[in-house]
Structure 1
């Protein structure tokens, strides 16, 4: 049932000769699925309120596109990119509860389970060494790894539209999608607060935990681009969930632990390191007054200095009386506390520092002569003929 994606760069080449009946049926199912997704997305952009006012729209979309168990990654990617994302992007505020919220109630729990299982599988491939073998870039394991990465980024784009009203253009072509995936995913400033739909989603008892857990888990999955995108959504989502009372003590510890784990995994990349340090510090600053036990997560860092933790708590307590901002002293102190966790490149793991002590002093004349004739030792013309035969 749709085992190929002809639009994907990972698609295998078609065999020569006329297609077999089984392949013709697969192509028909795939084309039908693709056309339905494109039709739903186009209707969301063009019909507007006439579409969103239809009774049972969310249930019909979920039953038609997301009801089948264990959908392949490339099928889910098409649903997210071509159907679900346009539906949420063009949804009027008046129909948030009737359309957008039911869609996310169905899709968010499904996706967090599916992506968690897929990343566990990809992680097992890395641990077993199958992705490191020299079997070429066309092996099944490599293709599955790439598909899981692309699917994760697609789902984060859907969450971005749902939570913070993503600033991407309405028409999102395949070329732009591939450029965005290869380029690392945008350098726009991270939002501070969620949108009206985002607050509604995070306060929902079904969709809220699933969305928040997806973002926090995406921080720690083995894809630096997905981690960076999730980092931009994590703090607004955490603030909104905290304000709605949907965060418990265990959730607070897990959120800070996820940021620190991501810092260990992706800290070798400068962009990820800066974003994750800011996220971890902001999360600690927001959670510490409500959940004092969250300090135990930092205290569990190997070789951490208790005096530094006390100084950080004092700075955060003093900052509560002033407008919240990340000043340099807090960032430097937090980076010092977490320095043992920050991941480094393989080329820097076993670097031996070289220190040369007691170097001789170099005497540099203050006023250099303009030419050789004005030098104290002269031009040295007589030395040219010193060894000449007489």
Structure 2
């Protein structure tokens, strides 16, 4: 199973036509991507649901990642959600959440397990309330020991959001902040957007002018922790220094949305969710949606597969919505043609595809075969609006296409 997972990831990530040095970087990323990458997905599900216009007959396919969004889509009332992921750690996390929703007795237990994710009692909750109902493969993942010899389920007693590739990357960023005497908590203490901007300009912006930071961020491997493979690094940087690109993305995160409404900012600056009663949380974790999650959880499935192959296996005209995250930034033109050919075949009339890109423009014009692209209508104004309002702030563009 491990060898198969490694092969699936390498097939998706390693560029076949790349130079030797680039292939080695791709293989290094594929190795890093084998474990838990995202304890929380970094795409805003609220803008996703607005763009997707999910209805009661909607059959939706998405990339799972941390499964936060896949579960949150249930609040919009679709007929079916299938979350597909190459990474078996992400699949195990999704299955853990689904099983917890089904079998934990109340919202308080669920909230302590997945929102706080650091209570000692979570170990006992897992053993008695979740594990007996969890599928064998996911249970094997969570009960296996990590490189430090600790069972992976202990992440939920020691702070899940400090774990995984992204969690470690954010932790390293916090360490650098301390070395440069930057107090990241000041962003979270700001009470207005004006105060947030003042803190950013005073505390955060200057670090991107440091020689070491500019050098470090120019190395593709330095952004593996953000889940950015070498191929996407080139799209993200464009003709600019990476430090400047990252500064702008952090500025949007810190300044464009009120802290009280942005759980992505809490993850970045506090390494976890706010614990106040009015804390911003993903829709699936909100108290108001608990009963809805319980009622609709049987409408979601999480599958360990390559999304291109999975889509190709679906019946013709059987799906309505596709959420591709930023996976296309990893693809060459032939792979895009293959993916969109399968999407077009599997789409019902009026189907929509939503995806994100590291750079601002949609990558499809000039890359996707015109014979395929001509069947789709780009919703340009709505895409620009969704991009502007995406609270995660780390992508250049959110793009929405509709079957013409």
TM-score, normalised with respect to structure 2: 0.24
Richer in helix (by share)? 1
Higher relative contact order (CA 8 A, sep 6+): 2
Richer in strand (by share)? 2
The structure with more radius of gyration: 1
